[in-house]
Amino acid sequence: VLLYASVGLVSMLNGANFLDYNVLAADPVDGQHYGIIIIELGVGITVFSVMLGIFYAFAGQVEKANVQ
């Protein structure tokens, strides 16, 4: 969420609309690429975190089953 909001705020500080990637670089096409990559990085981190949390939740259940 921080990456998503940060990209939007940087766009607004540069005088564009929220999540208007064109202003993230000198060339609008490069700005589009940078914006999309940063947003997708945030999505990837989120998915990875959820999958890791699910893995540790199931791994913790195995330890509890072996102890009893």
Confidence of residue 60 (pLDDT cuts 50, 70, 90): confident
Find out whether 38 and 3 touch, Cβ atoms under 8 Å.
Answer: yes
Print the domain residue range for 35. Answer: 2-67
What is the total count of domains within the chain?
Answer: 1
Task: Give, for 18, the enclosing helix (H) or strand (E).
Answer: none
Integer angstrom CA distances of residue 13 from 8, 19, 24, 42: 9, 11, 10, 20
Q: pLDDT (tens digit, 9 = 90+) per residue, 7-53?
A: 999 999 999 999 999 999 999 999 999 999 999 999 999 999 999 99
Residue found under tokens 């969420």: 1
Find out whether 7 and 18 touch, Cβ atoms under 8 Å.
Answer: no
